[in-house]
């Protein structure tokens, strides 16, 4: 997996864990950490969403290494 998709994967996992916390404990970690900076908090949500979209395209680009081409497997 290329660097781009490793970063995207990490963000998706962080986002998913946060949703898990919200569901189980009604605790939004991102809001707790970044609630004082609404723009930054919003940016994190946007980045997580964009990362999920990136991950949807991960198989093709990371298998043949040609589309995002950051790094071969």
Chain residues in the site for Zn ion (CB under 5 A): 2, 5, 61-62, 68
Q: Which is nearer to Zn ion, 22 or 68 (CB)?
A: 68
Give the residue nearest to Zn ion (CB): 2
The whole-angstrom distance between residue 61's C-alpha and the CA centroid of its chain comes to 17
| Least distance to Zn ion, CB of residue 73, Å | 9
**Rounded to an integer, what distance in angstroms lies between the CA atom of residue 43 and that of residue 39?**
6
- CA nearest neighbour of 45 among 68, 21, 28: 28
Question: Could you tell me the smallest distance in angstroms from the CB atom of residue 1 to Zn ion?
Answer: 6
Question: Quick one: how far is CA 31 from the chain centroid?
Answer: 16
CB of 4 vs Zn ion, minimal distance in Å:
5
């Amino acid at each position: 997996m290329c660097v781009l998709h490793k970063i995207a994967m990490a963000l998706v996992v962080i986002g998913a864990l946060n949703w898990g916390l919200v569901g189980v404990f009604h605790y939004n970690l991102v809001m707790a950490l970044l609630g004082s900076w609404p723009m930054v908090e919003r940016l994190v949500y946007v980045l997580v969403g964009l990362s999920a979209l990136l991950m949807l395209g991960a198989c093709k680009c990371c298998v043949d290494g040609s589309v995002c081409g950051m790094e071969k497997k």
